Amino acid sequence: MKTNLNFTKGEWIGAMALAALILLSYLIYYLYDGKKKQPYDFTAFEMEIEAFEAEQERLADSVAAARTQNRNYNYRSYSYGDTTPRNSRQTKKPMYEIVRLDLNRCDTDAIKTVPQFGSKRAAKLVEYRDKLGGFYSFEQLKEVYVLQSIDTALLRKHFFIRPDDVRKININTATYKELIQHPYFDAYLTKTILAYREKNGQIKNLQELQQITHAYPELIERLQHYVVF
């Protein structure tokens, strides 16, 4: 059977199906291509996550601080009707006990454990101590330039001194080399002592030493800890 376009019925059905497929393909292209989904913006979501994590961190810090604070107090039980805590005041105990060092005997390794002391300061302290023959006062450390900035209170906290450990010099038998090596004896003082000994014999006491050398009183006060007659 032929139609007006001289198509058979089967050819007409095929043409209509093809046209329908073409039309459907155009519809699908315009409908779906025009409505492509835009990429989802995760910025707001990420900001919410960051805010949540920050809040969790803040809460964790608050809990840690509360636990630390609670450890500083003793929890005491209360008797019925008692509104006053027992032993409400607690003496704070130090976290560790400071072991004081013997200033005239400790080595550089021990000194470096003390706050504000590094290798250089520890070495200078020991070097000056050996030249002196030991310290009789914490103030003597101020005579070393690199130790001048250290507070005396800190030194007393971490060191102690036994004045009897100071090494003495016999003023009547010491040689020039032995005297000049001591920080409190300069060339003039040493030569004056040796010249007097050679001419007049032994020096009897500090007063005579001061009269011979005309040393100022502060120097005589220092020397009295290091000389014997």
Report pLDDT digits (tens) over 142-166. Answer: 999 999 999 999 999 999 999 999 9
7 CB burial (10 A radius; 0-12, 13-18, 19+): middle
- Where b means 16+ CB within 10 Å and e means fewer, 28-42 reads eeeeeeeeeeeeeee
| Range of 25-39, 73-87, 134-148 with top mean pLDDT | 134-148
pLDDT for 24 equals 74
**Alpha-carbon torsion, ordered 133, 135, 136, 140, to 10 deg:** 120
SS3 157: helix
Check pLDDT > 60 for residue 2.
no
**Which is it for strands 169-170 and 227-228: parallel, antiparallel or unpaired?**
parallel
Closest CA to 105 of 151, 184, 159: 159
**Alpha-carbon torsion, ordered 18, 21, 22, 25, to 10 deg:** -170
**Which is it for strands 159-160 and 227-228: parallel, antiparallel or unpaired?**
unpaired
- The reply to whether the predicted model has a pTM over 0.85 is no
Contact between 220 and 209 (Cβ < 8 Å) = yes
- pLDDT confidence of 216, banded at 50, 70, 90? very high
Closest CA to 108 of 130, 79, 93: 130
Q: Record the tokens describing residue 36, joined without a space.
A: 């492509």
